[in-house]
Amino acid sequence: MSEQLFVNKHASRKEKYQTLIPQLKALLDNESDTIANMANTVAALKQTFNFYWVGFYIVKRNELVVGPFQGTIACSRISWGKGVCGTAWKEKRTVIVPNVNLFAEHIACDSASLSEIVVPIFYKNEVIAVLDIDSQYENYFDETDAEFLGLIADIIKNKL
Protein backbone atom coordinates (compact mmCIF):
# COMPACT_ATOMS: atom_id res chain seq x y z
CA MET A 1 0.00 0.00 0.00
CA SER A 2 1.17 3.47 -0.88
CA GLU A 3 1.28 5.50 2.34
CA GLN A 4 1.46 8.86 0.65
CA LEU A 5 -1.01 10.45 -1.69
CA PHE A 6 0.44 12.47 -4.55
CA VAL A 7 -1.61 15.58 -5.36
CA ASN A 8 -0.61 18.02 -8.08
CA LYS A 9 -2.08 21.21 -6.71
CA HIS A 10 -1.76 22.96 -10.08
CA ALA A 11 -3.57 20.34 -12.14
CA SER A 12 -7.14 20.67 -13.42
CA ARG A 13 -9.90 18.89 -11.53
CA LYS A 14 -10.06 16.20 -14.23
CA GLU A 15 -6.31 15.63 -14.03
CA LYS A 16 -6.55 15.42 -10.25
CA TYR A 17 -9.19 12.68 -10.57
CA GLN A 18 -7.01 10.88 -13.14
CA THR A 19 -4.07 10.97 -10.72
CA LEU A 20 -6.20 10.02 -7.72
CA ILE A 21 -8.01 6.98 -9.10
CA PRO A 22 -5.05 4.62 -9.63
CA GLN A 23 -3.66 5.64 -6.23
CA LEU A 24 -7.01 4.97 -4.61
CA LYS A 25 -7.23 1.54 -6.25
CA ALA A 26 -3.76 0.72 -4.89
CA LEU A 27 -4.67 2.06 -1.45
CA LEU A 28 -7.79 -0.12 -1.22
CA ASP A 29 -6.29 -3.10 -3.00
CA ASN A 30 -5.46 -5.27 -0.01
CA GLU A 31 -8.21 -4.12 2.33
CA SER A 32 -11.59 -5.83 2.36
CA ASP A 33 -13.23 -3.86 5.18
CA THR A 34 -15.81 -1.50 3.67
CA ILE A 35 -15.68 1.10 6.45
CA ALA A 36 -11.88 1.24 6.24
CA ASN A 37 -12.12 1.67 2.48
CA MET A 38 -14.80 4.36 2.76
CA ALA A 39 -12.71 6.18 5.38
CA ASN A 40 -9.60 6.23 3.21
CA THR A 41 -11.65 7.24 0.16
CA VAL A 42 -13.10 10.32 1.86
CA ALA A 43 -9.67 11.22 3.24
CA ALA A 44 -8.13 10.93 -0.23
CA LEU A 45 -10.91 13.07 -1.76
CA LYS A 46 -10.55 15.69 0.97
CA GLN A 47 -6.78 15.74 0.58
CA THR A 48 -6.98 16.04 -3.20
CA PHE A 49 -9.79 18.56 -3.63
CA ASN A 50 -10.28 20.08 -0.19
CA PHE A 51 -14.04 19.67 -0.61
CA TYR A 52 -16.03 21.35 2.16
CA TRP A 53 -17.72 18.12 3.20
CA VAL A 54 -17.22 14.62 1.80
CA GLY A 55 -18.65 11.44 3.20
CA PHE A 56 -20.72 8.32 2.86
CA TYR A 57 -24.25 7.63 4.00
CA ILE A 58 -24.92 3.90 4.36
CA VAL A 59 -28.33 2.23 3.86
CA LYS A 60 -29.40 0.61 7.14
CA ARG A 61 -32.93 -0.77 7.20
CA ASN A 62 -35.09 2.01 5.74
CA GLU A 63 -32.73 4.94 6.34
CA LEU A 64 -29.38 6.34 5.35
CA VAL A 65 -27.01 6.55 8.32
CA VAL A 66 -23.91 8.70 8.19
CA GLY A 67 -20.69 6.77 7.67
CA PRO A 68 -17.06 7.85 7.34
CA PHE A 69 -16.80 11.54 6.47
CA GLN A 70 -14.55 14.56 6.61
CA GLY A 71 -15.97 17.97 7.37
CA THR A 72 -18.31 19.58 9.85
CA ILE A 73 -20.75 17.51 11.91
CA ALA A 74 -23.61 16.10 9.86
CA CYS A 75 -27.19 14.85 10.09
CA SER A 76 -27.04 11.24 11.31
CA ARG A 77 -30.06 9.83 9.47
CA ILE A 78 -31.85 10.59 6.21
CA SER A 79 -35.05 8.90 5.03
CA TRP A 80 -35.60 7.34 1.61
CA GLY A 81 -36.57 10.09 -0.85
CA LYS A 82 -35.58 12.90 1.53
CA GLY A 83 -32.79 15.37 0.90
CA VAL A 84 -30.39 15.15 -1.99
CA CYS A 85 -29.02 11.89 -0.55
CA GLY A 86 -32.42 10.27 -0.18
CA THR A 87 -33.33 11.40 -3.68
CA ALA A 88 -30.22 9.78 -5.18
CA TRP A 89 -31.13 6.60 -3.25
CA LYS A 90 -34.76 6.65 -4.37
CA GLU A 91 -34.03 7.52 -8.01
CA LYS A 92 -30.91 5.32 -8.20
CA ARG A 93 -28.93 8.01 -9.97
CA THR A 94 -26.31 10.67 -9.41
CA VAL A 95 -27.88 13.97 -8.39
CA ILE A 96 -26.11 17.30 -8.90
CA VAL A 97 -27.62 20.31 -7.13
CA PRO A 98 -26.04 23.58 -8.33
CA ASN A 99 -27.79 25.68 -5.67
CA VAL A 100 -29.13 23.85 -2.63
CA ASN A 101 -31.41 26.78 -1.76
CA LEU A 102 -33.36 26.10 -4.95
CA PHE A 103 -33.72 22.35 -4.32
CA ALA A 104 -36.86 21.86 -2.26
CA GLU A 105 -35.77 18.53 -0.80
CA HIS A 106 -32.37 19.71 0.38
CA ILE A 107 -31.53 18.99 4.03
CA ALA A 108 -29.29 21.70 5.42
CA CYS A 109 -26.88 20.05 7.84
CA ASP A 110 -24.58 23.04 7.48
CA SER A 111 -25.77 26.39 6.11
CA ALA A 112 -22.34 27.00 4.56
CA SER A 113 -22.97 24.33 1.91
CA LEU A 114 -24.23 25.84 -1.34
CA SER A 115 -23.93 23.06 -3.91
CA GLU A 116 -23.85 19.30 -3.71
CA ILE A 117 -23.34 16.06 -5.62
CA VAL A 118 -24.55 12.65 -4.47
CA VAL A 119 -23.45 9.42 -6.18
CA PRO A 120 -25.14 6.10 -5.37
CA ILE A 121 -23.19 2.90 -4.76
CA PHE A 122 -24.89 -0.26 -5.93
CA TYR A 123 -24.74 -3.89 -4.92
CA LYS A 124 -26.79 -6.18 -7.17
CA ASN A 125 -28.87 -3.25 -8.50
CA GLU A 126 -29.73 -2.00 -5.01
CA VAL A 127 -28.31 1.19 -3.54
CA ILE A 128 -26.31 0.26 -0.44
CA ALA A 129 -24.70 3.65 0.22
CA VAL A 130 -24.23 7.09 -1.28
CA LEU A 131 -21.17 9.28 -1.61
CA ASP A 132 -22.12 12.86 -0.74
CA ILE A 133 -19.94 15.90 -1.44
CA ASP A 134 -20.79 19.49 -0.52
CA SER A 135 -19.19 22.72 -1.59
CA GLN A 136 -19.40 26.16 -0.04
CA TYR A 137 -19.47 27.51 -3.61
CA GLU A 138 -22.50 27.59 -5.85
CA ASN A 139 -22.53 25.46 -9.03
CA TYR A 140 -19.31 23.67 -8.05
CA PHE A 141 -19.98 20.20 -9.51
CA ASP A 142 -20.47 19.08 -13.09
CA GLU A 143 -20.44 16.01 -15.31
CA THR A 144 -16.69 15.54 -14.83
CA ASP A 145 -17.30 15.05 -11.10
CA ALA A 146 -20.24 12.75 -11.83
CA GLU A 147 -18.11 10.63 -14.17
CA PHE A 148 -15.07 10.27 -11.93
CA LEU A 149 -16.98 9.96 -8.65
CA GLY A 150 -18.97 7.23 -10.40
CA LEU A 151 -15.66 5.44 -11.05
CA ILE A 152 -14.75 5.87 -7.39
CA ALA A 153 -18.16 4.47 -6.37
CA ASP A 154 -17.36 1.47 -8.60
CA ILE A 155 -14.03 0.92 -6.81
CA ILE A 156 -15.93 0.67 -3.50
CA LYS A 157 -18.63 -1.53 -5.08
CA ASN A 158 -16.07 -3.90 -6.55
CA LYS A 159 -14.64 -4.45 -3.07
CA LEU A 160 -18.00 -5.51 -1.59
Site residues for ligand SME per CB under 6 A: 53, 74-75, 78, 83-85, 106-107, 109, 113, 116, 132, 134
Q: How far is the CB of 55 from ligand SME (least distance, A)?
A: 6
Secondary structure element (H or E) that encloses residue 54, with its range? strand 53-60
Longest dimension (CA), the chain: 43
Bridge partners (DSSP) listed for residue 78: 64
Q: How far is the CB of 58 from ligand SME (least distance, A)?
A: 13
Amino acid identity, residue 85? C
Q: How far is the CB of 110 from ligand SME (least distance, A)?
A: 7
Amino acid identity, residue 130? V
10 Å Cβ neighbour count for 154? 14
Q: How far is the CB of 85 from ligand SME (least distance, A)?
A: 3
Task: Give whichever of 8 and 101 is closer to ligand SME, judged by the CB atom.
Answer: 101
- At residue 10, φ and ψ (nearest 5 deg) are -95, -5
Task: Give whichever of 47 and 72 is closer to ligand SME, judged by the CB atom.
Answer: 72
Task: Give whichever of 27 and 45 is closer to ligand SME, judged by the CB atom.
Answer: 45
